[in-house]
Amino acid sequence: MIAPWYVMAYTKLDRVAWRHGYALALHGSMSRDLDLIAIPWTDDAEPPEKLLKAFINFVKGKSKVSIKYYVSEVTEKPHGRKAYSIPIGHDGHYLDVSIMPRLTKRAPDAPKRGAKVVKSKSKVIKGQARR
């Protein structure tokens, strides 16, 4: 029964992701693998490799089994997403981690942090930031 382990793992991995500047989301059935999506959430989100290493360290500490390898080769996915498989050592189960890319700089037409955005019928009007 792997689903309880996945529930425990998600609640901890969510905190790991947050400490590295990412939000973590679930998708999938949790029957064979735990599908996770990490989305850069802060301006100073760490590189994906650091997040992945932190996830691997978590698995090493919690799986209590000898794992010959800890991560698959990266698989390129749509929209710049990169996917990795981290075996957890329980009958072929694994974490399927997708990490969305970080933007290197804010788009020039993006609203400033904290700016009020008001939608009209024909266009979006950018307001001033609240104080």
Read off the pLDDT of each residue in 121-130 and give the average, rounded to a whole number: 52
pLDDT of residue 29: 78
Choice between 42 and 2, residue whose per-residue pLDDT is larger: 42
Q: 69: closest CA among 58, 54, 85, 47?
A: 85
Is-contact 57 34, C-beta < 8 A?
Answer: no
- Indicate the pLDDT class of residue 131, thresholds 50, 70 and 90: very low
Q: What is the CATH number of domain 3-104?
A: 3.30.460
Q: 98: closest CA among 33, 43, 42?
A: 33
In the chain, what are the domain boundaries?
3-104
User: Is the confidence at residue 90, as pLDDT, over 50?
Assistant: yes
